[in-house]
Structure 1
């Protein structure tokens, strides 16, 4: 597939997650709630996670921001559901490496998340893409303590 076609496909995946977000909403009861924002551009997210026996059993988000931040949150919640904490944090490390243009473990199927790989070419947008991931890391690390 040509680079142009791949870029177009990635844009379509990002816009699909933005217009039809997965896991939008708030979890109640025993959920972790993490609020984060990116003051440089105004993106904000409230991430709620349900963790049972060291596993992320559910994840939802609310927020407002650009298509990159909101689609990344949608993709992230899909990716971590059903994963144990260690796996979810490893995915976050892989995502962070991808955003920084570093080599990353490409033996793991990132699914839709790979559509965000082009963001690494736009340093100002990296914070948008990583906002939800940073919220997830913060919540899971605080929950472990």
Structure 2
């Protein structure tokens, strides 16, 4: 597949997650809730995680922001559901490396749709948009 076709496909995946976000909403019960914002861009997110026995049983988000921020939150919540906390944190590290333009060794972890965001690394002003939900997840896990 040529670079232009791949770029177009990635843009379509991002726009699909933005227009049809997965896991948007809220959770009830014993959950971790983290509120974060990106004052530079105006993005804000509330991430909720239901963690049982070291596994992310469910993940939801609410918020508003640019297409990159909201698509990233949609992709992240979809990717971490059902994963061990350690694997979700590995994914976060891999995502941060990808945003820094570094080569990512997927170590048996499939990033799926998240790979569509790799082009964001070329736009430093947008990296904080893409990483907001991931930072919220890390904060929730580390403080929870």
Query: Unaligned regions of 5+ residues in structure 1, if any?
Result: none
| Runs of at least 4 residues off by over 6 Å | none
1:14 matched residue in structure 2 = 14
Secondary structure of the 1:13 match is helix
Secondary structure of the 1:56 match is strand
TM-score norm. by structure 2 comes to 0.97
Aligned length, in residue pairs:
143
Distance apart, 1:106 and its partner CA: 3.1
TM-score norm. by structure 1 comes to 0.97
1:80 matched residue in structure 2 = 80
Distance apart, 1:142 and its partner CA: 1.1
Distance apart, 1:76 and its partner CA: 0.1
Question: What CA distance in whole angstroms lies between the structure 2 residues aligned with 1:114 and 1:47?
Answer: 21
Query: Unaligned regions of 5+ residues in structure 2, if any?
Result: none
Secondary structure of the 2:57 match is strand
Q: How does 1:105-124 map to 2 (within 5 A)?
A: 105-107=105-107, 108-124=109-125
Question: What CA distance in whole angstroms lies between the structure 2 residues aligned with 1:70 and 1:3?
Answer: 25
